[in-house]
């Protein structure tokens, strides 16, 4: 293992240097390429890591990561090295485009095998991922766990989940906690397709298994998830789902309809349009035993919005990581009457496809009797962009000049409805129609959120004058609110706008939110012992 020791040995000091090299290339005066001393010198260094680990002999390293081609690491990361002749290839760490991305997210196995990278090809990144494994293993060998590295304007956040290691490398102003939340969402997405149990089983059985074989095709879902965080931050930031604005009587009628249409083993029925919730009905046994986590519901909403469900009636296993990370539900997904309105029926019986299909026809017939088809088509067709057929409203509806955008999450929902945290926000309109502007707004919201919820010094109210807009964030026992106002607004003017907004939300709350989520009055034929554990998907 001496040879291995030689190649990896420089890691404790040198990886840090390379780290700095990589991140501070633009700031030439920073002494980028010059080897620095201990890692925790200026940039905050390793947080909560045992720095005495440096004193340990490098001999402990070789046994740790099975980093693929560890010797190549240094060359690839050194800016002067000619990076194996294929410089500029997408995903090559020396590629300028790749390096300039705002936020990278990587998933790798404990053995250092790449599983997912947001940008570039995972093949080209195996050396980079080897370094990540080395960092984690090194700190781990000192009996500690690496959580984050702060380097210049970059944050590196590490999250270990079972045999999977998730890493975010970000230069967005998001806090480490927010990035960690994002990594958890990525992990939940992986678990939802494979279950935690089977991931653990696979790696227990074969440590160097290439998980990409099983996740093939799911990368796009992860991409979409990460993109949505940067452009439309409400969902993950507030831990809530977004509802389609709908007149209360219609929503209640639809809820009652879902409640009526049951099938054996049906646990949850959801009506959604473009990733937003119309209404959902939960079977009572599920409800009383465990409240459906909004993260799980959001996962389902994202999932059914995938283009894979655009045609036909689909039947697929899906796991709800918060509810039970080790078992599968079986999901029936279909568009209703060729509308973008999507019906999701979640059951525990693997063979129940035809029962669910029958249930869908009941829902369709019921909707026709209600005359809801027309209204729903109108909602679904509100925004004509076919890509994001997301029904929404304009901020102008509030009638508060100067208000550009807001996120509002009510916290005064009666306790027995707490299982469905919701939020509302208008469409992003000019000046936030371009991607960069959306990123900027999202970053600002993230900053405000991080300060409101700071663990050391939480705040209740922030008035923040930024370069191109003024923001006001406010959290009370009744709501959590983020507003974006025009840059010229005065403090008094801002208060006026917010008061107007709150009044508007109060007036519209029956339309904006599901005030009383429907439940099944009687549990369907399936008994409790037909719990989702029975649905554990053993096909792997």
Partner 1 sequence: MKKPDVKIVLLGDMNVGKTSLLHRYMERRFQDTVSTVGGAFYLKQWRSYNISIWDTAGREQFHGLGSMYCRGAAAIILTYDVNHLQSLLELEDRFLGLTDTASTDCLFAIVGNKVDLSEDQEKDEVSSEQASSSCVSTKVPKQVKLEDAVALYKKILKYKMLDEKDVPAAEKMCFETSAKTGYNVDHLFETLFDMVVPVILRQRAEGPPQTVDISDYKQPKQAKSGCCA
200 lies in the site for partner 1, by CB under 8 A: no
* Residues whose CB is less than 8 angstroms from the CB of residue 28 and which lie 6 or more positions away in sequence, other chains included: none
Question: How many other CB atoms sit within 10 Å of the CB of residue 160?
Answer: 17
Q: How far is the CB of 432 from partner 1 (least distance, A)?
A: 28
267 lies in the site for partner 1, by CB under 8 A: no
Among 331, 398, 444, 473, binds partner 1 (CB under 8 A): 331
The region of 19-27, 357-365, 437-445, 498-506 touching partner 1 under the rule CB under 8 A is 357-365
308 lies in the site for partner 1, by CB under 8 A: yes
Contact 12, 49 (CB under 8 A): no
Give, as ranges, the residues between 134 and 193 that touch partner 1 (CB under 8 A): 193
The region of 110-118, 306-314, 319-327, 397-405 touching partner 1 under the rule CB under 8 A is 306-314
Among 209, 315, 393, 474, binds partner 1 (CB under 8 A): 315
312 lies in the site for partner 1, by CB under 8 A: yes
H or E, element range at 65:
none
Residue 1 DSSP SS3: coil
Residue 417 DSSP SS3: helix
Question: Using alpha carbons only, how large is the chain's radius of gyration in Å?
Answer: 25
216 lies in the site for partner 1, by CB under 8 A: yes
205 lies in the site for partner 1, by CB under 8 A: no
Q: How far is the CB of 60 from partner 1 (least distance, A)?
A: 37
Contact 520, 259 (CB under 8 A): yes
CA-to-CA separations, 140 to 21, 41, 143, 145, 349, in angstroms, rounded: 24, 21, 5, 5, 42
CA-to-CA separations, 214 to 58, 173, 196, 199, 537, in angstroms, rounded: 35, 33, 13, 10, 14
Residue 12 or 163: which CB sits closer to partner 1?
A: 163
Among 41, 90, 358, 388, binds partner 1 (CB under 8 A): 358
Q: How far is the CB of 221 from partner 1 (least distance, A)?
A: 9
- Distance in angstroms (rounded) separating the CA atoms of residues 234 and 160: 25
Among 311, 430, 488, 528, binds partner 1 (CB under 8 A): 311
Q: How far is the CB of 259 from partner 1 (least distance, A)?
A: 17
Question: How many other CB atoms sit within 10 Å of the CB of residue 284?
Answer: 13
Residue 140 or 350: which CB sits closer to partner 1?
A: 350
Measured in degrees and rounded to the nearest 5, phi and psi for residue 140 equal -65, -35
Q: How far is the CB of 147 from partner 1 (least distance, A)?
A: 31
- Distance in angstroms (rounded) separating the CA atoms of residues 65 and 134: 6
Among 177, 314, 450, 466, binds partner 1 (CB under 8 A): 314
Q: Position of tokens 């939300």?
A: 505
Contacting positions for partner 1 (CB under 8 A):
193-194, 213-218, 220, 303, 306-309, 311-317, 331, 350-351, 353-355, 357-358, 361-362, 365, 537-540
């Amino acid at each position: 293992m001496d040879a291995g020791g030689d190649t990896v040995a420089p890691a404790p000091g040198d990886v840090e240097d390379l780290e700095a090299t990589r991140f501070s290339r633009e700031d030439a005066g920073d002494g980028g390429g010059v080897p620095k001393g201990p890692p925790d010198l200026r940039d905050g260094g390793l947080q909560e890591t045992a720095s005495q680990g440096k004193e340990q002999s490098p001999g402990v390293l070789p046994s740790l990561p099975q980093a693929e081609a560890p010797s190549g690491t240094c060359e690839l990361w050194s800016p002067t090295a000619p990076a194996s002749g294929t410089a500029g290839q997408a995903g090559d760490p020396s590629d300028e485009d790749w390096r300039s991305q705002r936020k990278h997210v990587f998933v790798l196995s404990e053995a250092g095998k790449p599983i997912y990278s947001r940008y570039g090809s995972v093949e080209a990144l195996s050396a980079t991922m080897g370094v990540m494994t080395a960092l984690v293993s090194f700190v781990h060998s000192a009996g500690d766990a690496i959580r984050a590295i702060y380097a210049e304007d970059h944050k590196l956040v590490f999250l270990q989940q079972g045999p999977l290691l998730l890493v975010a490398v970000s230069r967005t102003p998001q806090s480490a906690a927010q990035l960690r939340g994002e990594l958890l969402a990525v992990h939940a997405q992986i678990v939802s397709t494979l279950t935690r149990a089977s991931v653990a089983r696979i790696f227990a059985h074969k440590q160097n298994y290439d998980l990409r074989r099983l996740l093939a095709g799911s990368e796009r879902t992860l991409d979409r998830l990460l993109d949505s965080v940067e452009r439309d931050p409400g969902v993950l930031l507030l831990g809530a789902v977004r509802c389609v604005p709908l007149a209360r009587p219609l929503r209640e009628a639809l809820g009652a309809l879902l409640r009526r249409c049951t099938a054996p083993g049906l646990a949850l029925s959801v009506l959604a349009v473009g990733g937003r919730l119309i209404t959902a009905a939960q079977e009572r046994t599920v409800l009383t035993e465990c409240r459906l986590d909004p993260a799980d519901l959001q996962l389902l909403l994202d999932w059914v919005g995938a283009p894979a469900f655009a045609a036909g009636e689909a039947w697929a296993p899906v796991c709800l990581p918060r509810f039970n990370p080790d078992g599968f539900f079986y999901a029936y997904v279909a568009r209703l009457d060729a509308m973008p309105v999507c019906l999701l029926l979640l059951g525990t019986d693997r063979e129940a496809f035809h029962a669910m299909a029958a249930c869908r026809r009941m829902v369709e017939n019921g909707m026709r009797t209600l005359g809801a088809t027309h209204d729903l088509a109108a909602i679904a067709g509100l925004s004509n962009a076919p890509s994001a057929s997301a029904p929404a409203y304009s901020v102008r509806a509030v009638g508060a000049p100067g208000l550009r955008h807001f996120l509002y999450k009510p916290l005064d929902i009666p306790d027995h409805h707490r299982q469905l945290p919701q939020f509302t926000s208008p469409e992003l309109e000019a000046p936030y129609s371009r991607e960069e502007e959306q990123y900027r707004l999202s970053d600002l919201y993230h900053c405000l959120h991080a300060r409101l919820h700071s663990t050391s010094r939480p705040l209740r109210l922030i008035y923040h004058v930024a370069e191109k807009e003024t923001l006001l964030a406010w959290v009370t026992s009744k709501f959590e609110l983020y507003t974006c106002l025009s840059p010229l607004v005065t403090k008094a003017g801002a208060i006026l706008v917010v008061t107007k907004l709150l009044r508007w939300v109060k007036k519209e709350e029956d339309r904006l939110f599901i005030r009383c989520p429907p439940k099944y009055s009687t549990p369907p034929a399936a008994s409790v012992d037909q719990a989702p554990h029975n649905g554990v998907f053993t096909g792997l």
